[in-house]
Structures are given as structure tokens and as C-alpha cells.
């Protein structure tokens, strides 16, 4: 398994921008469409903004029309974990970075074949590393 990447709240605050902290460490949600990657087409790997773990590939990104970057699967097994989220009177499945427990977004089962999964992520929690050309 991956080694855990643990920091104190004060360390995260110092490391991240206020937006990154609010989304990734406090379970916030960025506004639809007003975020960096919802329409991003560049090839590359999306890393965790907190710890740099590889999380998603542009190969699995699709246009969900929701205004958030959406992926049909993580880049590898075990890089994300899930938890039940009861916030806002709904039961949703929260997606977290397996290495540092950053809040990334939610996963829904209305995605494209073959996985039928839609990982609805916050751009703020991700950092796109473009593929070397
Ligand atoms: Zn992480």
C-alpha cells in the first residue's frame, strides 16, 4: 500500500491556497464551470494538489456536461478511497485521495460504459501535469 502522507491542519493551511484548503481539506465544492479543468483537453495526468499522487488520466476524462472535470475511473486501483457522505440530506459517495485523505469530489454510477462510473471532481483538488511531447 501507499505510505500515508500526513500533515497538521496548520501545515496544510500554509501549503495550500485558501481555495485549495477549503475544497481539499474541508470538503468544499467549487462552482460548476468556474474551475480550471472542466473543459480541459490537454493530455496528461491529474495529481492530488495536496500530496502529488497520480489520481486520474486525461484518457479517462469525458465531458459530463456538469461543469466539473469528470473521469470514468482513477488512473490505477487503490489511488482513491471512498466514504459515505450524508451532507445536504443526500447520500453520496465521497472520493478521497488514498495517500493524504484530500477531499476530491464524489462518484456516481451514471457514467459512460464500460465502468458506468462518473468521478465528479473538483479542479481545485487536482493539478494537471501535461504529458511530455
Ligand atoms: Zn493526496
DSSP codes, 64-80: -SSSS-EESS-SSTTSE
In the predicted model, is pLDDT for residue 1 greater than 80? Answer: no
Q: Quickly state the pLDDT bin for 86 (edges 50, 70, 90).
A: very high
* Rounded Cα–Cα distance for residues 27 and 95 (Å): 10
> What pLDDT, in 10s, does the model give residues 29-83?
999 999 999 999 999 999 999 999 999 999 999 999 999 999 999 999 999 999 9
Distance 44 CA to ligand 1 centre (A): 17
Helix (H), strand (E) at residue 15: helix 9-15
Distance 85 CA to ligand 1 centre (A): 19
pLDDT number for residue 133: 74
Distance 50 CA to ligand 1 centre (A): 5
- pTM value is 0.94
Residues belonging to the active site: 120
Q: Which domains does the chain have, with CATH numbers?
A: 9-130 (2.170.150.20)
Amino acid at each position: 500500500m501507499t505510505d500515508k502522507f500526513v500533515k497538521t491542519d496548520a501545515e496544510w493551511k500554509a501549503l495550500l491556497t485558501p481555495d485549495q484548503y477549503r475544497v481539499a481539506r474541508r470538503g468544499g465544492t467549487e462552482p460548476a464551470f468556474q474551475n480550471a479543468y472542466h473543459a480541459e483537453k490537454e493530455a496528461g495526468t491529474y495529481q492530488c494538489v495536496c500530496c502529488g499522487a497520480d489520481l486520474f488520466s486525461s484518457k479517462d476524462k469525458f465531458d459530463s456536461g456538469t461543469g466539473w472535470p469528470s473521469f470514468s475511473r482513477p488512473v490505477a486501483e487503490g489511488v482513491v478511497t471512498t466514504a459515505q457522505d450524508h451532507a445536504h440530506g443526500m447520500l453520496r459517495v465521497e472520493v478521497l485521495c488514498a495517500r493524504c485523505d484530500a477531499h476530491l469530489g464524489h462518484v456516481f454510477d451514471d457514467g459512460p460504459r464500460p465502468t458506468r462510473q462518473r468521478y465528479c471532481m473538483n479542479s481545485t483538488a487536482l493539478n494537471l501535469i501535461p504529458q511530455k511531447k
